[in-house]
Amino acid sequence: MPLLIPRKTALCISAVSMAVLLASPVSSQQAASPIARYDMDVGTVTGLAALGGGASSGMGAGLSMMFGGGSNKQAHELVLRLGSSRAPAAGAPKADHFMPPVTKLGASVPLLSPKPGTRTDAVPEDLPKDFQRPKGRLLIYWGCGAKAAPGQPVVIDFAKLTAGQVPPDLFAGSMPVDRSVSTGNSRTYGEWPNAETRKLLSADSSLLGEHRVAGNYAPEIKFALAQDFMPAITGKSAPAPGGATQISWNTVANATGYYAWVMTAKANAKGEFQDMVWWSSSASRQFGGALWDWIAPAQVARLIQQQVVMPPSQTSCTVPAEVTAAGGEFALGNLYAYGPEANFAYPPRPANARTPWKPEWTARVRYRSNSTWLLGGPDMGAMMNGGGEAEPRKKKKKCKGGLGGLLGAVVTGEGC
């Protein structure tokens, strides 16, 4: 349930963020906006997200990610976005990312430009005709510990909300808006994956080597990657004294910090999923938004100081007993390991701060690793190695309407 920001506001913030980046606060160097910006988001996915091919960025990008590998192996995700201030030199916009052979995606992948009048970053303004308002309540908890801190849970009654309204008490604060390339901040824009290609990354695909992006609306972009996909992160859970749940994970090389969240639901006597529980590892009430995305190392460092993100030295966290008591038999656990970031530009930023900088293009490559698994269900590490079996599948139930029914189907694994 990402935080929705008015479109004009988001674009203004994005523009300001870009200006701040180019005119670094530690330098008085004058810097012009680049003609082209390129974003390359690189992920490693394990657990249920990899098995189902539906890991997400902000819970909304799962439909646009391409995965590879078998059910007992990790999967890879790759999202490419090119934005330019130029119009196409001739004809329709066209651009391609030429990959090293070890990526196993062929010589190149096309960066498709959306049709005029469409926006890939837009938030739907109208709800589906068959939308049903969620019933019941959402109970919000946060913080690692055997017991929930005073003031928890924050209770949101869906019946009191206007249809489509974001609960006003859902977030205690707001995460900084990232400067990601989008149709909204680009004159011409291209992306991959897209509707025209269905190439899949292999489980053994690699990104190491030379990369080139060329098209008719942006300068040619060239860079070499020395950082490959991050190692997999796998979550485990075990009962803790007093009814709490201990979650733990492996140390991930190059991780800059970790974040965890859990969702669960409890059914009433009629089998309807009404009361939902949402818990975050943050010491304050911080949920979703950028925390489900790729985050720059400098931002992660600030979030660690604010106790929103856990440091890379931490590999366990206790989910409070109140979450277990309020939730259902199974809970959906999620782990994020934020990773490094590589930045490239041409021409490079001058070493002399007095020399104005006019880059033709900039490129940013972000890394992360994430996993989704059932707390109280089969161990995802064992499942990845072929050593774990899920419990016998129960007879499918008819899905109830609204968010409660959907979450119930996900949490219990019973489907619809």
31 located within any domain: no
* pLDDT value at 82 more than 80: yes
The per-type count for the chain, helices as H runs and strands as E runs, is: 6, 16
Helix (H, G, I), strand (E, B) or coil at 234: coil
In a domain, 286, yes or no: yes
Kindly list the strands in the beta sheet with 209-215, ordered across the sheet, starting from the edge strand earlier in the chain.
108-110, 95-98, 209-215, 221-225
Q: Of 190, 209, 229, which one is at a domain's C-terminal end?
A: 229
Res 274: pLDDT: 75
Q: Is the peptide bond before 153 cis (omega within 30 degrees of 0)?
A: yes
Backbone angles phi, psi at 347, to 5 degrees: -70, 160
Q: Does 268 share its domain with 320?
A: yes
Closest alpha carbon to 339 in 307, 308, 306, 370: 370
Residues facing 140 on adjacent strands = 154, 278
Residues 176, 186: one domain? Answer: no
Confidence class of residue 162 from pLDDT cuts 50, 70 and 90? low
Question: CATH number of the domain that 271 lies in?
Answer: 2.60.40.10
Among 105, 349, 119, 344, residue whose Cα is nearest residue 219 = 344
- Evaluate if residue 110 carries a pLDDT over 70: yes
Identify the band that residue 166 occupies on the pLDDT scale cut at 50, 70 and 90: low
Range with the poorest average pLDDT among 108-112, 185-189, 264-268, 275-279: 264-268
Asked whether residue 2 is domain-assigned, the answer is no
Q: Please give the tally of structural domains in the chain.
A: 2
Tell which residue, 101, 63, 299, has the closest CA to residue 191. Answer: 63
Query: Cα angle at 388 between 228 and 47, to 5 degrees?
Result: 35
d(CA 285, CA 136): 21
Closest CA to 203 of 48, 6, 45, 21: 45
Listed residues 195, 229, 263: the one ending a domain: 229
pLDDT for 359 beyond 80: yes
Single out the residue in 229, 260, 289 at which a domain terminates. 229
Mean of all residue pLDDT scores within the chain: 77
Judge residue 401's burial from the number of C-beta atoms within 10 Å of its C-beta, 0-12 exposed, 13-18 middle, 19 or more buried: middle
Q: What is the pLDDT of residues 293-302, one digit of tens each?
A: 999 999 999 9
**Residue 189 predicted with pLDDT over 70:** yes
Higher pLDDT, 199 or 205: 205
Percent of the chain with pLDDT over 90: 49
148 and 192 fall within a common domain:
no
314 and 328 assigned to the same domain: yes
- Based on the fold, state whether residues 65 and 167 are members of the same structural domain: no
Give residue 142's domain range: 132-180+232-386+395-416
State how far the Cα of 60 lies from the Cα of 76, in Å rounded to an integer. Answer: 17
Q: Are 28 and 353 in contact (CB under 8 A)?
A: yes
Mean pLDDT across the stretch 179-183?
88
Mean pLDDT for 119-148 is 70
Same domain, 408 and 290: yes
State residue 358's pLDDT score: 92
Residues 111 and 52 in one domain: yes
Determine, yes or no, domain membership for 4. Answer: no
Same domain for 152 and 269?
A: yes
Q: Note whether 330 and 199 are same-domain residues.
A: no
Rg for the chain (alpha carbons), in Å? 22
What pLDDT does 169 receive?
55
SS3 410: helix
Task: Report the run of H or E that residue 335 belongs to, with start and end.
Answer: strand 331-346
pLDDT of residue 288: 73
Reduced to 3 states (helix: H, G, I; strand: E, B; else coil), residue 300 is: helix
Find the mean pLDDT for residues 138-160: 90
Q: Strands across the sheet with 245-249, in order?
A: 235-239, 245-249, 316-319
Check whether residue 280 and residue 382 sit in a common domain: yes
51 domain-assigned: yes
What is the sign of the dihedral through the CA atoms of 194, 200, 204 and 209?
negative
- Kindly tell me if the per-residue pLDDT of 71 is higher than 50: no
pLDDT band at 415 (very low <50, low <70, confident <90, very high): very low
Q: How confident is the model at residue 203 (pLDDT cuts 50, 70, 90)?
A: confident
As a residue count, the chain comes to: 416
Pairing mode, strands 273-280 and 137-142: parallel
Confidence grade of residue 29 (pLDDT, cut at 50, 70, 90):
low
Position 8 scores a pLDDT of 36
Residue pointed to by tokens 């019933």: 135
Residue 120 predicted with pLDDT over 60: no
Please tell me which residue, 233 or 265, carries the higher pLDDT value.
233
| Tokens found for residue 187 | 């004159």
Residue 307 lies in a domain: yes
CA 162/CA 309 separation, integer angstroms:
32
219, 343: one domain: no
Q: Quick check: is 414 in a domain? A: yes
Say if residue 109 is in the same domain as residue 250. Answer: no
Considering the domain boundaries, does residue 365 fall inside one?
A: yes
Higher per-residue confidence, 240 vs 177: 240
Query: d(Cα 107, Cα 283) in Å, to the nearest integer?
Result: 46
Tell whether the model's pLDDT for residue 76 goes beyond 60: yes
Distance in angstroms (rounded) separating the CA atoms of residues 210 and 93: 24
Name the token pair of 335: 């782990």
First-residue to last-residue Cα distance in the chain: 21
| Residue 286: pLDDT band with limits 50, 70, 90 | confident
The pLDDT assigned to 115 comes to: 79
Most confident of 39-53, 206-220, 277-291: 206-220
Q: What is the pLDDT of residues 241-283, one digit of tens each?
A: 899 999 999 999 999 999 999 999 877 777 777 788 999 999 9
Q: Give residue 200's pLDDT.
A: 83
Evaluate if pTM is beyond 0.95.
Answer: no
Q: How big, in percent rounded to 5, are the helix, strand and coil portions of the chain? A: 15, 30, 55
